[in-house]
Amino acid sequence: MSTLESGNKNNEGGSIQMKNRNWKLERLSEGVGWGLFFILVGSLLFAQIKGWLGGQGWSYFAIGMGSILVIGFLVRYFSDENNRWGALGRLIVGLSLAYIGIASIYGFGEWWPLALIPIGIVCLVKAFWGARNESYSH
């Protein structure tokens, strides 16, 4: 076997390992996200039934979902060096949701729309970044 054939064989093995690693990361990220989501919803429903939320259940839901997205960012950022840009989007959206929830609880009612601006910026940058890095075959 030539060194070229040997190199291709090693590269294929690396590709399989990378795909396997990405699959495991997706499964971990998905499982953690859904698990935290159901814990959040169950806890908030129970607290609402008990009357502990004082009519601010949606605010706590926004904080909880924001926190879940930040945790998703941390899992992706520290686990997959190839997909850190996708992780950054989760961080921005998560922090924005948490900000909206905190703003509604502590009376920043007129300031919460500012949290939507970074989300819009991330959407625009991701769209232009993706279009720029897309390879076209004509």
pLDDT of residue 77: 79
The ranges assigned to domains in the chain are: 3-133
- pLDDT mean for each 10 residues of the chain (138 residues): 48 56 69 90 94 91 94 80 70 88 82 81 79 55
pTM higher than the cut 0.75: no
Give the pLDDT confidence of 21-33 residue by residue, as tens digits: 666 767 777 788 8
pLDDT of residue 57: 92
Sign, Cα dihedral of 136, 79, 33, 22? positive
pLDDT of residue 81: 64
CA geometry: angle at 102 spanning 98 and 105, to 5°?
Answer: 145
